[in-house]
Structure 1
Amino acid sequence: MDPHLLRTLVAVARWGSFSAAAEELGYTQSAVSQQIAALEADLGLPLLHRRPVVPTEAGARLLEHAGPLLLRVEAARADVRRAAAAPAHRLTVAASPLSVTPSIAGRLARARAAHPRLDLTLVTFDRDKVAGEVAAGRADLGMADGIAAPNDPLRLPDVGPLTAVGIAEENLLVALPAGHPLADRAGLRLADLVDAVWLQTTLCPLERLRDLLGDGFRPGLAYTGDDVHTVLNLVEAGHGLTLLPASVGHGVPVVAPRLSHRVELLHGTLPPGPAAAVAAALSPSPAG
């Protein structure tokens, strides 16, 4: 199946228009129509209704596969280019919002001090997008964070042959309003809070808590940003509880179940050079 034809199908479905897809892709409308027809002939099934332009049932199923397939193709190209590329002194690190813990920030500082010519840019993405940015070659390294059982790997999208290494792990805190009846506890069991109202945030997805602990965790206000101060202000105002890493410093420690805030370093092929040096600097030493 030709990835160029798949890319055209994705564009037409996204816009609901052959002409808009042609403008995005730099093709003529006739060329887009011919590519869709070629893909339909290859599969022997209609993929798009024409009026209005919406996917057929077969087209919708193919679109479910198209995104991951196109990303894997992009990842393969990027991996080959990385293996053959000369070392670059300009590096981009894709990082999820809570991945830059104090210890990791310190390791980055030491890496920059050891490589004064290094031009390092840190770009924030949702944790599920970090792996894709690295796989596609838009970032040289990635750092993704999430909630996990101690020493368990994070659940990250399968985007191709990436290496994932745990580089930090710390305790979790329950962020509570100052006047909350449990705010003065030395520790909290999450099982005692399943009936509480919880913020819906990308920093602490409720579906992850339900995966780990079962049903409960009533949804409160939804916040789609990633600013920790905003989250703490919302908690303080009574919009819901949330979990944050201990380095944030506001909350009561989680004592059961045993969960941690974990950060993993993601990378593809790393020939000798600055990217490999930064990856080594970010990885914890065997002693700790």
Structure 2
Amino acid sequence: MSGGIRRVGVVGGGQMGAGIAEVCARAGLDTVVCEADATAARAARERVAASLDRAVRRGKLEAAAAREALERLVFTGELADLADRQLVVEAVIENADAKLEVFAALDKIVEDPAAVLATNTSSLPVMRLGMATSRADRVVGLHFFNPVPVLPLVEVVTTLHTAAETVTAVEDFATGALGKTVVRSRDRAGFVVNALLVPYLLAAVRMAESGFATAADIDAGMELGCAHPMGPLKLADLIGLDTVASIAESLYDEFREPLYAPPPLLQRMVEAGLLGRKTGRGFHMYSHDI
């Protein structure tokens, strides 16, 4: 793509979508965030503004740079406002039907046939999303990690149809424009990181579920005994227990390995709305000012 990617769209302004939009705006890119409606779009703007404010308070960002980043962002409730984008990153709920609907719509809306349509899915088949479009060669997985402004990794996930120039364009974007580090993965459930991480998190859930050890002791053991920066149950809370359960279900559906099956305790917590940090309670308790 001549001149590189400068016009970015993000579909979904939740925790991940807002983070992706923020790093794009901080990198000086023209960024449009599309939410379900005007009310959700305003909430997305507030989410990004709060994140920028936290970065300023913590000395990670100058106040002027935060203001400039917010000014680069446009928030909309209309998918049609993404028509002129060179790259659109889908970051909606981890639900196959919802994502398929977005990709089918983007295929009709995004005007440039060379534009890249990317998904931030944690575990769903990228190929399936690509086949919902007429441009499967321009569809790729671009999986960021939470919190997006802090964690330096992006997984680039290629399908059997993804063109080499698509991979080059998104890798140049991730490394050059955003300053991220890229690892490549084939299109398999969980990709690289979650295929290794999620069984570990589920093992910690099973240990807590069995009464073998408390959540606090499990986390302390891995933090202090293995030098992990965060224990597995704290990490699950940070990711979101609903997201962990969804990834586990996708892994189990693909590989049918028992270690991938979400434990009953995890399923009950999701049903109860105890999703971790974003709801104030998961395996640990949290204040909402995080």
Q: TM-score, normalised by structure 2?
A: 0.27
Structure with larger RCO (C-alpha < 8 A, sep 6+) = 1
Q: TM-score, normalised by structure 1?
A: 0.27
More strand as a share of residues: 1
